[in-house]
A and B are shown apart, each in its own frame.
Chain A
Amino acid sequence: MPELRVTNLTKRFAGRAAVDDISFTVADGEFFTLLGPSGCGKSTTLGAIAGLEAPDGGRIEAGEVVYLDTDTHTFLNPEERNLGMVFQSYALWPHMTVAGNLELPLRLRKVASGERDRRVNEVLDQVGLGDCRDRYPHQMSGGQQQRVALARALVYSPTLLLLDEPLSNLDAKLREQARVWLKEIQREVGITTIYVTHDQGEALTLSDRIAVLRDGKILQVGTPQEIYELPTMPAVADFIGRCNFLAGTILTTRDGRVTVRVEATGTELSISVKDTYQPGEPVTLGIRTERFTFATSGTVPDNALPVRLTKRLYSGAWYEYELDCGGQALFARHTACVDGDELMLGIPEDGAYVFRENV
């Protein structure tokens, strides 16, 4: 299976760039996710790969086949790109049976009828719907329709598999199951897959690599661990998980560790870092809501922020805390139930990100 290369892709709607000069490469057999809030350009990018959108600039190629090159005015129609796509609404043709839906792409590829039957049965067995051949889409549940949609996208062994929020119409329980199942099938088939979602949980569990998009630009590309543990900018940390941001200034730097003064309270915190910083440099601290520790009253821990408790909400597995840190609101999540007005909020040395950008 070939790799997919997207270079300098740009698409404008009414002058506004929905996709702004983005480039990425998806390796052979990789599960690659485009993750971002609605309107970030992820679906437009997928549409451009599928040929359903006509981009204003850029180049898309899958292996040797050039799908799009605006410099040479190359545009391959969607039907000639040989890719499989699963849509949010599943888009099963309502007037055809399950088998009819799966047969159409094989007919177009002039597959003989015996081979066609064999292949349809094989793929339906694979998705666990071997006995649903002759049903119509409206006679099936949402989960089953979603499986048929995937079967239809795979039955003709396309070059690429494109998935446009395929799980978003399933209810929560089913969605969890479908994730596991989808990942298994993808691994089994070994097909290069582009997945579009706004659900970070889906992205983190399914992907080999994730591209985080916002406002038509790629903010960061990396494995799920890299995206979560080492966000390169506040926007990524903010979108994946929940993160608090505090303005600060670098005071000292020593052996991969910096001392930062938090502007809101004047507290000094020691944080381990990968980059090098200069003393006096203004930075933004990012601290995930689940990384805080609560110090017991009386003891004064080293790395801690003085805060006032303003609100505590019980949410089952943990408590949600709303805290006031020198006039700035902080959010924390902890399994312990803490009381009291004034608290010290502990921050592990490896529990905060240091960003050069302002938020």
Chain B
Amino acid sequence: MADPAVRYPGVRYPRLLGRARETWIQYGVLLPLLLVVAAPVLVALVQSFASRPLYEAAVFDASSYVRLFTDESFGTVIGNSVLLAALTTLISIVLGVALAVLLIRVRVPGGALMGSLVLWPIYISPLVLAFGWIIVYGPAGYVTRIVASVVGGQPWNLYSIPGMALTSSVAFIPIVYLYCSNALRIADASLENAARTCGARPLRVIWTVILPLLRPAIMYSGLLALTGSLEELSIPLLYGKPVRIELFGSFLYDYGLDRANPDYGVLGASAMLFLLFLAVLVSAQGFVLRNSRRFIAVRGKASRVQRFDIGGLRWAGFALAVGYLILGPLLPLAGLVARAFTQVLSPLLNPFDVLSLGNFQIILGYHQYAGSIGNSLIVALVGGVATTLVAALAVLMARRSRFRFARVTEVASLAPQAMPGVILGLGFFWTILFIPPLRPLQGSLITIIVAFGVAALPVAFSAIAPMVMQISEELDQAARSVGVDWWGTFTRVLARLIAPALLASFVLVFVTMIKAFSAAVFLGNADSDVIGTTALTLWGNGNTGAVAALSCLQIAITAVVVFLAGKSVKVTAYA
């Protein structure tokens, strides 16, 4: 400027076949993404209309659907699944909302501490929870036997639809709590202050102002619980099998794995129906979320959340929260830990007399069992990094580019929300089976990483997208204007700014993948077992102690990673 003679050349970027680098990267991400998301569904769709397995000569008709609908047991499966999902959702919403209001908005002794405890089971696999529940509340469970010795007979039956619903709601209450507590924290305090000045007492304010404001959070988290419990595999598998209660997940599992000669057509048809049903529910989620804006009562500045004083009733609230925490997650987990460190767990024996590390010796001593922990770690680490990277690019393509298929990218990244792990596993299994060049991938860790990665992609996308949206688009535009291209904008500017979201995404994906197993039941083999599939095998063999030990190791791994992540950055749990 002082020297007007200064001239610098403009920036030029090399082009390949006339296309800029960003175009190649964007298509390079989208096409494989579409392939891995669509392939399992398409193959299952084709299979559902084929009379025989696709690798044999097949006739295409709708006969599989006819066979499926005329199968009496399928009606029962649908009925059971819907009943379980509805019951789970109901329990989760009632308890989740009650806990959120109590612990966030009411002066309850120990509220803050219990608030973090309620969220905790989000990190624990439903499979592990189910093991814990069976050890404690099962027909031969620790607590069951104590109660039976007092009241006589069998006090309750865990292996029933209500028993399943109670167990799985422990997995979904944290999700309802998470959404509702966030909504409560950001709600505009002046709304309730207005009600107070009109003469409403605390309980009245809670009922007339606060609960209606929670409606969108309740709707959204309720739908998450509904879809989640529909596609859940572990609890139906563990509870349903001994008493022959069939549900969607276990039906597909039995049909596809346990039969000597599975009817692929019927399997495909039921998978398609299930997908269709979930797609409707997930679209409803999107619809609810879109409309929820008009309910949102947010002011820019965060005001301190006031807690209501509800007098003596607070002790009732305290009892509810403590009761849930002890009976729901804590006691079963304590049972699990106790079982892991004892030879046998029974109310008749002092557990300290039978202390043993034998269960851990079984896990760590056998190559296959120990290997499954290594496999899970590899899958979660590699998968966590890869999924986070793909999701970050997908978010930028969807929200921060002029890419022609921005919308397609977003839909493809979020679509796996409606794909249960069992169906993903089945779809990938068939894809590999029917496309001979892919056969070497069968049973490999790569396949499992891809399948788990597809399942975890929506979580990663939803963890990254909000942070990207919070960053002013002018920061990208400024970079573009001074001469940085789309990719450079990501590496030089955005990647640094969204680093916390990338870390959060990695942790979430890692935790999800350590827990995941349902896709692997079809895809894994003896060399590529993960923790979940190994636990299932051990459980099937009746080796409860080893299962408990393995579950403890899984929890320990998760705890270490979450703790380390929490050290460097505050991670919010996204459901």
Query: How far, in Å, is A130 (CB) from chain B's closest CB?
Result: 12
Instruction: Kindly state whether residue A335 has any CB partner on chain B within 8 Å.
Output: no
Residues on A with beta carbons closer than 8 Å to the beta carbon of B497: 93-95
Within 8 A of B (CB), among A66-98: 77-85, 87-89, 91-95
B481 touches A83 (CB 8 A): yes
Given contacts A78-B481, A91-B477, A189-B1, contact A157 B493 (CB under 8 A): no
A91 touches B8 (CB 8 A): no
B8 touches A157 (CB 8 A): yes
Residues on B with beta carbons closer than 8 Å to the beta carbon of A123: 1
Query: How far, in Å, is A311 (CB) from chain B's closest CB?
Result: 35
A81 touches B4 (CB 8 A): no
Given contacts A157-B8, A188-B1, contact A50 B477 (CB under 8 A): yes
Residues on B with beta carbons closer than 8 Å to the beta carbon of A185: 1
Instruction: Kindly state whether residue A54 has any CB partner on chain B within 8 Å.
Output: yes
Query: How far, in Å, is A97 (CB) from chain B's closest CB?
Result: 13
B4 touches A82 (CB 8 A): no
**Secondary structure type dominating chain B contacts:** loop
B1 touches A79 (CB 8 A): no
Complexed CA–CA distance, A237 and B558 (Å): 69
Query: How far, in Å, is A119 (CB) from chain B's closest CB?
Result: 7
B482 touches A152 (CB 8 A): yes
Instruction: Kindly state whether residue A108 has any CB partner on chain B within 8 Å.
Output: yes
Interface string of A87-125 (1 = CB under 8 A from B): 111011111000000001110110100000001001101
Within 8 A of A (CB), among B433-457: none
A50 touches B483 (CB 8 A): no
Given contacts A95-B496, A109-B8, A126-B2, contact A79 B484 (CB under 8 A): yes
Complexed CA–CA distance, A241 and B175 (Å): 57
B478 touches A77 (CB 8 A): no
Complexed CA–CA distance, A149 and B20 (Å): 28
Query: How far, in Å, is B16 (CB) from chain A's closest CB?
Result: 14
B11 touches A79 (CB 8 A): yes
B2 touches A122 (CB 8 A): yes
Task: Select from chain B the residue with minimum beta-carbon distance to A189.
Answer: B1
Complexed CA–CA distance, A156 and B1 (Å): 10
B1 touches A80 (CB 8 A): no
A82 touches B1 (CB 8 A): no
Query: How far, in Å, is A344 (CB) from chain B's closest CB?
Result: 52
B474 touches A89 (CB 8 A): yes
Residues on B with beta carbons closer than 8 Å to the beta carbon of A105: 482-483
B482 touches A156 (CB 8 A): yes
Task: Select from chain B the residue with minimum beta-carbon distance to A78.
Answer: B480
Instruction: Kindly state whether residue B273 has any CB partner on chain A within 8 Å.
Output: no
Instruction: Kindly state whether residue A286 has any CB partner on chain B within 8 Å.
Output: no
A126 touches B477 (CB 8 A): no
Partner of A87, one of B7, B8, B477: B477
Given contacts A77-B485, A80-B12, A105-B483, contact A157 B6 (CB under 8 A): yes
Instruction: Kindly state whether residue A280 has any CB partner on chain B within 8 Å.
Output: no
Residues on A with beta carbons closer than 8 Å to the beta carbon of B311: none
Interface string of A189-200 (1 = CB under 8 A from B): 110000000000
Within 8 A of B (CB), among A150-164: 152-154, 156-157, 159, 162
B8 touches A156 (CB 8 A): yes
Partner of A108, one of B7, B474, B483: B483
Instruction: Kindly state whether residue A216 has any CB partner on chain B within 8 Å.
Output: no
Within 8 A of A (CB), among B1-50: 1-4, 6-13, 20
Instruction: Kindly state whether residue B472 has any CB partner on chain A within 8 Å.
Output: yes
Residues on A with beta carbons closer than 8 Å to the beta carbon of B485: 77, 79
Max chain A C-beta neighbours (<10 A), residue from B1, B480, B485, B488: B1
Instruction: Kindly state whether residue A36 has any CB partner on chain B within 8 Å.
Output: no
Complexed CA–CA distance, A154 and B3 (Å): 12
Instruction: Kindly state whether residue A51 has any CB partner on chain B within 8 Å.
Output: yes
Residues on B with beta carbons closer than 8 Å to the beta carbon of A85: 477-478, 481
Complexed CA–CA distance, A336 and B448 (Å): 85
Instruction: Kindly state whether residue B492 has any CB partner on chain A within 8 Å.
Output: yes
Task: Select from chain B the residue with minimum beta-carbon distance to A52.
Answer: B477
A81 touches B3 (CB 8 A): no
Complexed CA–CA distance, A153 and B478 (Å): 9
Residues on A with beta carbons closer than 8 Å to the beta carbon of B481: 50, 52, 78-79, 81, 83-85, 153, 162
Query: How far, in Å, is A243 (CB) from chain B's closest CB?
Result: 35
Query: How far, in Å, is B483 (CB) from chain A's closest CB?
Result: 4
Query: How far, in Å, is A254 (CB) from chain B's closest CB?
Result: 54
Complexed CA–CA distance, A157 and B7 (Å): 6
Interface string of A123-148 (1 = CB under 8 A from B): 10110000000000000000000000
Partner of B11, one of A80, A84, A92, A188: A80
Residues on B with beta carbons closer than 8 Å to the beta carbon of A87: 474, 477-478
B482 touches A108 (CB 8 A): yes
Max chain A C-beta neighbours (<10 A), residue from B2, B6, B492: B6
Task: Select from chain B the residue with minimum beta-carbon distance to A156.
Answer: B8
Task: Select from chain A the residue with minimum beta-carbon distance to B9.
Answer: A109
Residues on B with beta carbons closer than 8 Å to the beta carbon of A78: 477, 480-481
Complexed CA–CA distance, A221 and B22 (Å): 38
B6 touches A79 (CB 8 A): no
Complexed CA–CA distance, A52 and B401 (Å): 10
Interface string of B177-208 (1 = CB under 8 A from A): 00000000000000000000000000000000
Complexed CA–CA distance, A15 and B287 (Å): 25
Residues on A with beta carbons closer than 8 Å to the beta carbon of B11: 79-80, 82, 108-109
Partner of A84, one of B482, B484, B488, B493: B482
Instruction: Kindly state whether residue B402 has any CB partner on chain A within 8 Å.
Output: yes
Residues on A with beta carbons closer than 8 Å to the beta carbon of B2: 122, 125-126
Residues on A with beta carbons closer than 8 Å to the beta carbon of B4: 189-190
B472 touches A91 (CB 8 A): yes
Within 8 A of B (CB), among A36-82: 50-52, 54, 77-82
Complexed CA–CA distance, A50 and B474 (Å): 12
Task: Select from chain A the residue with minimum beta-carbon distance to B22.
Answer: A77
Residues on A with beta carbons closer than 8 Å to the beta carbon of B10: 80-82, 109, 159
Residues on B with beta carbons closer than 8 Å to the beta carbon of A54: 402
Interface string of B477-521 (1 = CB under 8 A from A): 111111111001000110011000000000000000000000000
Complexed CA–CA distance, A51 and B22 (Å): 15
Instruction: Kindly state whether residue B475 has any CB partner on chain A within 8 Å.
Output: yes
Complexed CA–CA distance, A126 and B1 (Å): 8
Nearest 9 Cβ contacts at the A-B interface: A82-B10, A91-B478, A105-B482, A91-B474, A78-B480, A85-B481, A87-B474, A108-B483, A109-B8
A–B Cβ pairs within 8 angstroms, 21 of them: A51-B480, A52-B477, A54-B402, A77-B480, A79-B11, A79-B480, A79-B483, A80-B483, A91-B474, A93-B478, A104-B482, A104-B492, A105-B482, A119-B6, A122-B2, A122-B3, A152-B478, A154-B1, A157-B6, A157-B8, A188-B1
